[in-house]
Amino acid sequence: MKELRLPIYLDNHSTTQVDSQVVDAMLPYFSEQYGNAASKQHEFGWRAEAAVEAARKTIARLIGAEKNEIVFTSGATESINLALKGVAEAYASKGNHIITAATEHKAVLDTCKRLEKYGFQISILPVDRYGLVSVVDVENAITEKTTLVSIMTANNEIGTIAPIREIGEMCRVRNIIFHTDATQAVGKIPVDVIAMNIDLLSFSSHKMYGPKGIGALFVRSTTPKLRVMPQIDGGGHESGLRSGTLNVPAIVGFGEAAKLAHAAMEEESVQIKHLRDRLENGILAQVPDSFVNGHPTSRLPNNSSITFRFAEADRMMMEMKDVAVSSGSACSSDEPEPSHVLRAIGLNNEDAKSSIRFGVGRFTTEQEIDYVIQRVRETVQSVRDRKVHVQLTH
């Protein structure tokens, strides 16, 4: 058996290891093919441009788009800002109402808060205990001033997969633009912008074994062409939607990551779900007063958010330094706040602060999973025992 190496990485929602094949594809574009893709007068620029366009085509194919519908950005956060602010500005004469959900990523919620300061009306819809937003709730929230609906494909904390196809279809019938943050979904589950009636889709390379600092926004180009106001002014790169010199090595890496994901997704999802289920079943069997958050079936295969009652997540992670996971809490610099996602699905503050997100990945092994089950069992018991001792002494 292969020797177990510590620490073990189970934080693949946060970022993924760059696949070695991706690194190999990128390397020549740092030192050999180092041209600027916007340099149209010489071969260095032509080669860089050809590499960018090849990657654009591969990335588009992963989500069922055309290559001219892919706009490169610095990551999903920028893509989300461009989508929401760009559409809000472009269609302001039609209306000023945007609909989203309580469990969205902060990149969506904070962008909506910004738009609210400029006079836009924001409706933030509730979700059920599994984190699902209701298609009926979306439809009922629509007014004559609604221009945009933004609902994430799969949640970044609890993994719940939304009814995107149905929401997109309803928006299409109502002639309302539909954006989805698919950052956690692309490369892990099938995503098809045509079949799912998506107008705008944000995603990122580093969640699918590609490099950090590169992402994309899908912008539908047909029936009719979507208008998006650029948020960065300059040289008019990316069809005028995102000025700035293209990060050629990262784009090449993004393309290679998309190619690998497209080829391996079905088989990889089965293996990752097997490991995720082994982790969950092992923990739930050995750790009393623990439960899984999110939808039991409509959930990302790599995701496991588990609440450990009477054991604060931050204390667990301090003791369990040989396992890389993340807390269900989003902490500010001053004081920890319970996760807005876990609060939205009905957890109280104490349970929300006692939740840990485990993210299984391409390189996770059964040996690692078995080790983590044991470490979690020991750590939860230790934290709970210490808490009881402190309570008794006080």
Judge whether 381 and 19 are in contact, CB under 8 Å.
no
Judge whether 17 and 361 are in contact, CB under 8 Å.
yes
HSE of 250, CA atoms in CB hemisphere, 13 A = 16
Judge whether 12 and 235 are in contact, CB under 8 Å.
no
H-run or E-run covering 374: helix 366-393
CA proximity to 54, closest of 280, 193, 343, 255 = 255
Q: What is the dihedral of CA 52, 54, 57, 59, to 10 degrees?
A: -70
Instruction: Report, as residue numbers or ranges, the catalytic residues.
Output: 331
Give how far the C-alpha of residue 219 lies from the chain's centroid of Cα atoms, to the nearest Å. 18
> What are residue 109's phi and psi, to 5 degrees?
-65, -40
Judge whether 160 and 304 are in contact, CB under 8 Å.
no
Alpha carbon distance 78, 71 (integer Å) = 11
Q: Is the peptide bond before 190 cis (omega within 30 degrees of 0)?
A: no
Q: Collapsing DSSP states into helix, strand and coil, what is residue 316?
A: helix
Report residue 273 as tokens.
């779900």
Is the C-alpha dihedral spanning 36, 40, 44, 46 positive or negative? positive
Burial grade of 333 (CB within 10 A; 0-12, 13-18, 19 or more): exposed
Alpha carbon distance 359, 110 (integer Å) = 25
